[in-house]
Chain A
């Protein structure tokens, strides 16, 4: 076991840090959260900068225009960009972490040529059309129907919780092509979002934002050439997608959680109670220390996972472990922040020159962490059944 970074890894960190120090000040001001066209422009602009500097597709193989970085370098990349306050992957999330890798693994040469370079350059934004009103945790029960008509699929049905639908150029769409079977009747399609017959209705979240939408399909026609994998083999293709999502997908969330613990400690030292600061309250200080200890442990575990993935080609069993643990840890963190803020938590705007609002905001937002990308209950089922080998219920 060796936790030292190699010369090459240190060099990578140094160059990246230098580049970030130069690049970040040239960014335009951050757009308002609900101004989706501006958010798209901001996020894709950043992606373009990364691309031109050689940092796009950090985890993508070189043959597809990526950097082909080692997993350790990816970890360094996520550490450094988060610490430097670089923009989050944002609207590029689905393209870079889901669809791109899926197309690389399962797509035709034509599909690869068309989409991969554009995703890397920030010219193509994707969304994920998996969930439906009737198919959430039980995703394979989805019913959005695609019927073959010549060399087109005609799509009728509905998707829901589609993040970035408002600004996406394409959707990775799971459709039902065989109503007679469940897992073996699903197909994975590349669906252009400007296809006639698609209607998007934004859904308001508990934060008040418009993060995701309902997407309605009414006879929308998608070429058969847009299919990834075989007809009725889409479930397997989707599992490929999930394996990318679950590989290194949560690392930036961990770095972010770590940063938030430090921020909370800093905030607690500034929030005044009657005669002292919140930090002088042993119970609060101890709980922050407690969270940090767990966070450090989780981070150490993540490094072990990466080492296993690097050595054996597959991430350790721990992606569900990471998901359950970090999402619940983050919620405990924001719960504690609410106690630190006391009555100041009534405001979602910063008060008294302190960065208080972000914690209230994150308390609301983090309720989704235990739901999105597989609920905590489903993750625990996965751990129990696939890792511990317990019988299905």
Chain B
């Protein structure tokens, strides 16, 4: 057993991080937040870097890597708050032509999702529908919808479907549908882990700089302990998220369902908890639009329900416990 990143994995992580820092630093993310529509150039650059084709075999133009690598990449994308239907498009690579290369932007929804909200719908080419029978594809343009004027996360625009979903063209059967749910949850957990880390970094930096009572506020224990808990949540979630990636690659090491549920639950709690604490540590500044803390906080909440929220994960764990 050796649960440490390989040199290749560290290089991959660093490569994506450098790309994000150079191409989508916070100023750029801020501009995207005001623009609303997806930046197609950025999307193709992400594709060129292999974000969507990462796991496709090299023979099919992919990079030939596995889930353990994918969660690392998504952690970095989450850390940088890169917007867009990253998870669905990644899942669609290999199923929907053009998804892997960034030509086709793919989103998705569960057929019985009572919210009827689709993230980024206005920018999508294709929508995947997942149900008990399988995975279905429809043209995004064919869906009647209305814009939600005030989305929770300014970087996650949503539209509400106004008509029942069409059946769509069948892409795959129920097994693939079930796999997509687990894989999607693992990737979202990666994003959430990154969000949780970025919120921690921002708060720690501020706590070192901001002076009150003639001391950096990070010298006050009440603040220190908030930060220590942020770090703790990140490290615990990291273990689970990486384990979920490894287990998806190699199901012989444990239950995929269980590993993914643990990852998604702890990463979601880390992201939400750290988003909150990041605002708290910033005081009044944290409550402003100008400081980035709210962007982490909102992204955390926007991602939490995707592919099964905290309660659904806990229920899955309980069911697994009952069956052993």
Which of A's residues lie within 8 Å of B, judged by CB?
1-6, 9, 72, 261-262, 265, 269, 279, 282, 285-290, 292-294, 296-304, 306-308, 310-311, 317-318, 321, 324-325, 377, 379-381, 383-385, 387-393
CA distance A325 to B229 in the complex (A): 9
**Are the CB atoms of B250 and A3 closer together than 8 Å?**
yes
**Are the CB atoms of B225 and A2 closer together than 8 Å?**
no
| Minimum Cβ distance to chain A for residue B228 (Å) | 4
Q: Which of A2, A292, A297, A307 contacts B263 (CB 8 A)?
A: A297
Q: Is B151 an interface residue (CB 8 A)?
A: no
**Are the CB atoms of A6 and B208 closer together than 8 Å?**
no
Across the two chains, which residue of chain B brings its CB closest to A3?
Answer: B253
Q: Which of B2, B228, B261, B263 contacts A1 (CB 8 A)?
A: B2
**Are the CB atoms of B221 and A393 closer together than 8 Å?**
yes
Q: Is B202 an interface residue (CB 8 A)?
A: no
**Are the CB atoms of A380 and B224 closer together than 8 Å?**
yes
CA distance A308 to B238 in the complex (A): 14
Across the two chains, which residue of chain B brings its CB closest to A380?
Answer: B228
B225 cross-chain contacts in A, Cβ below 8 A: 377, 380-381, 384
Q: Is B235 an interface residue (CB 8 A)?
A: yes
Q: Is B28 an interface residue (CB 8 A)?
A: no
**Are the CB atoms of B231 and A383 closer together than 8 Å?**
yes
**Are the CB atoms of A293 and B317 closer together than 8 Å?**
yes
A377 cross-chain contacts in B, Cβ below 8 A: 221, 225
| Minimum Cβ distance to chain A for residue B124 (Å) | 32
CA distance A387 to B204 in the complex (A): 11
**Are the CB atoms of B218 and A390 closer together than 8 Å?**
yes
**Are the CB atoms of A300 and B221 closer together than 8 Å?**
no
A392 cross-chain contacts in B, Cβ below 8 A: 219
CA distance A225 to B224 in the complex (A): 43
CA distance A4 to B4 in the complex (A): 12
Give 5 A-B pairs besides A285-B318, A293-B313 with Cβ atoms closer than 8 angstroms.
A2-B1, A289-B318, A296-B259, A297-B263, A393-B220
B2 cross-chain contacts in A, Cβ below 8 A: 1-2, 307, 310-311
B221 cross-chain contacts in A, Cβ below 8 A: 377, 380-381, 393
- Show 19 residue pairs from A and B whose CB-CB distance is below 8 angstroms, ordered by the A residue: A1-B6, A4-B1, A9-B1, A289-B316, A293-B240, A293-B266, A293-B313, A297-B263, A297-B265, A301-B235, A303-B1, A307-B2, A311-B4, A384-B224, A389-B204, A390-B208, A390-B218, A391-B219, A393-B219
Q: Which of B1, B218, B321 contacts A384 (CB 8 A)?
A: B218
A286 cross-chain contacts in B, Cβ below 8 A: 311, 314-315, 318
A9 cross-chain contacts in B, Cβ below 8 A: 1
Known: A290-B314, A303-B1, A381-B221. A391 touches B215 (CB 8 A): yes
CA distance A381 to B263 in the complex (A): 27
Complex interface residues of chain B between 226 and 247 (CB less than 8 A to chain A): 227-229, 231-232, 235-240, 242-243, 245-247
Q: Which of B220, B229, B232, B317 contacts A289 (CB 8 A)?
A: B317
**Are the CB atoms of A297 and B215 closer together than 8 Å?**
no
Q: Is B173 an interface residue (CB 8 A)?
A: no
A-B CB proximity, top 3 nearest:
A301-B239, A289-B318, A297-B240
Q: Which of A2, A5, A301, A303 contacts B236 (CB 8 A)?
A: A301
CA distance A303 to B253 in the complex (A): 13
Q: Is B207 an interface residue (CB 8 A)?
A: yes
CA distance A287 to B265 in the complex (A): 12
Q: Is B145 an interface residue (CB 8 A)?
A: no
A317 cross-chain contacts in B, Cβ below 8 A: 235
Q: Is B68 an interface residue (CB 8 A)?
A: yes
| Minimum Cβ distance to chain A for residue B166 (Å) | 35
B236 cross-chain contacts in A, Cβ below 8 A: 294, 297-298, 301, 321, 325
| Minimum Cβ distance to chain B for residue A110 (Å) | 39
Across the two chains, which residue of chain A brings its CB closest to B266?
Answer: A297
Q: Is B9 an interface residue (CB 8 A)?
A: yes
**Are the CB atoms of A265 and B318 closer together than 8 Å?**
yes
Q: Is B177 an interface residue (CB 8 A)?
A: no
| Minimum Cβ distance to chain B for residue A138 (Å) | 14
**Are the CB atoms of B218 and A289 closer together than 8 Å?**
no
Known: A2-B1, A298-B236, A307-B2. A388 touches B317 (CB 8 A): no
**Are the CB atoms of A292 and B317 closer together than 8 Å?**
yes
| Minimum Cβ distance to chain A for residue B258 (Å) | 7
Interface string of B71-97 (1 = CB under 8 A from A): 000000000000000000000000000
| Minimum Cβ distance to chain A for residue B226 (Å) | 9
CA distance A373 to B17 in the complex (A): 38
Q: Is B5 an interface residue (CB 8 A)?
A: yes
CA distance A204 to B48 in the complex (A): 68
Across the two chains, which residue of chain B brings its CB closest to A381?
Answer: B224
CA distance A335 to B250 in the complex (A): 36
CA distance A297 to B265 in the complex (A): 9
Interface string of B208-220 (1 = CB under 8 A from A): 1000000110111
The interface centre, meaning the residue of B220, B239, B246 with most chain A CB atoms within 10 A of its CB, is: B239
**Are the CB atoms of A293 and B262 closer together than 8 Å?**
yes
CA distance A393 to B221 in the complex (A): 7
| Minimum Cβ distance to chain B for residue A378 (Å) | 10
The interface centre, meaning the residue of A72, A303, A388 with most chain B CB atoms within 10 A of its CB, is: A388
**Are the CB atoms of B232 and A265 closer together than 8 Å?**
no
Complex interface residues of chain B between 1 and 60 (CB less than 8 A to chain A): 1-6, 9
CA distance A297 to B236 in the complex (A): 6
Across the two chains, which residue of chain A brings its CB closest to B244?
Answer: A300
Q: Is B324 an interface residue (CB 8 A)?
A: yes
Q: Is B252 an interface residue (CB 8 A)?
A: yes
**Are the CB atoms of B3 and A303 closer together than 8 Å?**
yes
| Minimum Cβ distance to chain B for residue A20 (Å) | 21
**Are the CB atoms of A393 and B250 closer together than 8 Å?**
no
CA distance A121 to B313 in the complex (A): 46
| Minimum Cβ distance to chain B for residue A134 (Å) | 21
Q: Which of B6, B231, B252, B262 contacts A4 (CB 8 A)?
A: B252
**Are the CB atoms of B239 and A302 closer together than 8 Å?**
yes
**Are the CB atoms of A293 and B311 closer together than 8 Å?**
no
